[in-house]
């Protein structure tokens, strides 16, 4: 049965973890470029150089001695986001929506005393949330005010984000991650958020996955998650396509949020994007990777031509998974040769 399931997944063009790591991440991504995406401070500087909007940085905390002066710096900011520069998976992030005497009010309504807030910053600096567990920096940046397009399929005041996988500068697959009660309002699939696939051609949400199960409605709001048109879709794809020029990485993920006033904003880049996006789209990444490698040379001339080719060749028509193969390829016990 395991061998049969393995064959089915391969026939569906599913990209497994081993092949992703060896055939694409290691083969297409120079190790020297990883710090450009692993460190959010460097990513923001790159985005600014390329004219791509990202949340405005109010302050970067470099060392423990800077913590004491923060209350004065934040006095004129009622709302902001605190995050580790080298964090991943949403760990260590605090969204503040208001100030209160002696502390801050988070997005969920919880009040954090200044002492606890300062302790959390100290934990970030110590590297508790960093990718390698090494000393880190803490970023204080502007809070996103989400576009209302996802209001009906978002738990409370969570902020949905859009993940685009890029290969050789071509956007090959995308999904929107929708916060749920299970994910504590965060847009991280491993925490319990929904991942809804997006048709590259038209920018419309399609099938969705929640905790490794295909769903059609949001578990908390009961609204359909499919059939939602993504605003600024062309702009999002163009920004994603330029990530290769920005970083020199040939295989990566780009995460965007939709601000109600600014439009699409680059949240972060990821040199090791996950594989659950395949379940959300009910399509295999390997099929699209192979098709991109077979594209004519002139397709890769610039971001606009890469996006146009992707929308024409990788949209709508999807390679579906075999019936009954409702599995998360990132968690499945599949060894890809």
Same domain, 63 and 169: no
Query: Closest Cα to residue 147, out of 135, 159, 131?
Result: 159
Q: How far is it, in rounded angstroms, from Cα 36 to Cα 119?
A: 28
What's the pLDDT score for residue 11?
A: 66
Both 37 and 103 in one domain: the answer is no
The enclosing domain of 308 has a CATH number of 3.30.470.20
Is 324 within the bounds of a domain?
no
- At 119, the pLDDT band (50, 70, 90 cuts) reads very high
CA atoms within 13 A on the CB side of 244: 20
Same domain, 135 and 120: yes
Average pLDDT (196-205) is 96
Do 77 and 185 belong together in one domain? Answer: no
Are residues 255 and 176 part of one domain? yes
Instruction: Please write the tens of the pLDDT for every residue from 6-61.
Output: 455 666 799 999 999 999 999 999 999 999 999 999 999 999 999 999 999 999 99
What is the tally of structural domains in the chain?
Answer: 2
Q: What is the pLDDT of residue 5?
A: 44
Of 279 and 329, the one with more pLDDT: 279
- Flag whether 104 is in a domain: yes
Residues 137 and 150 in one domain: no
pLDDT over threshold 60, residue 335: no
The burial of 184, by beta-carbon neighbours within 10 Å (0-12 exposed, 13-18 middle, 19 or more buried), is given as: middle
Longest dimension (CA), the chain: 63
* Whether residue 197 sits in one domain with residue 271: yes
Strand arrangement of the beta sheet that strand 161-167 belongs to:
213-215, 205-210, 194-198, 170-178, 161-167, 251-259, 263-270
234 and 119 both lie in a single domain = no
25, part of any domain: yes
What is the domain extent for residue 121?
A: 57-141
pTM: 0.89
């Amino acid at each position: 049965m395991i061998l049969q399931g393995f064959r089915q997944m391969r026939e569906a063009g599913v990209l497994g973890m081993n092949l992703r790591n060896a055939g694409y991440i290691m083969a297409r991504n120079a190790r020297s470029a990883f710090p450009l995406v692993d460190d959010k401070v460097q990513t923001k500087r790159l985005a600014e150089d390329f004219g791509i909007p990202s949340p405005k940085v109010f302050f970067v905390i470099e060392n423990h001695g800077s913590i004491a002066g923060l209350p004065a710096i934040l006095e004129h900011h009622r709302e902001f986001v605190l995050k580790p520069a080298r964090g991943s998976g949403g760990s260590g992030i605090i969204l503040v929506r208001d100030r209160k005497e002696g502390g801050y009010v988070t997005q969920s309504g919880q009040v954090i005393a200044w002492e606890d807030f300062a302790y959390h910053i100290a934990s970030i600096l110590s590297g508790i949330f960093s990718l390698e567990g090494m000393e880190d920096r803490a970023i204080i940046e502007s809070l996103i005010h989400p576009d209302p397009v996802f209001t009906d399929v978002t738990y409370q005041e969570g902020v949905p984000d859009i993940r685009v996988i890029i290969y050789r500068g071509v956007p090959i697959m995308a999904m929107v991650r929708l916060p749920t009660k299970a994910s504590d309002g965060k847009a991280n699939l491993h925490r319990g958020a929904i991942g809804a696939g997006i048709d590259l051609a038209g920018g419309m949400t399609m099938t969705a996955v929640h905790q490794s199960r295909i769903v059609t409605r949001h578990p908390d709001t009961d609204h359909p998650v499919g059939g939602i048109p993504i605003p600024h879709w062309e702009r999002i794809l163009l920004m994603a396509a330029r990530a290769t020029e920005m970083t020199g990485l040939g295989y990566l993920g780009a995460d965007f949020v939709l601000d109600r006033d600014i439009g699409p904003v680059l949240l972060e880049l990821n040199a090791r994007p996950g594989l659950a996006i395949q379940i959300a789209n009910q399509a295999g990444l390997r099929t699209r990777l192979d098709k991109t490698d077979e594209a004519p040379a002139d397709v890769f001339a610039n971001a606009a031509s890469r996006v146009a080719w992707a929308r024409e060749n990788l949209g709508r028509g999807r390679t579906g998974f075999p019936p009954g193969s409702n599995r998360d390829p990132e968690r499945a016990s599949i060894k890809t040769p």
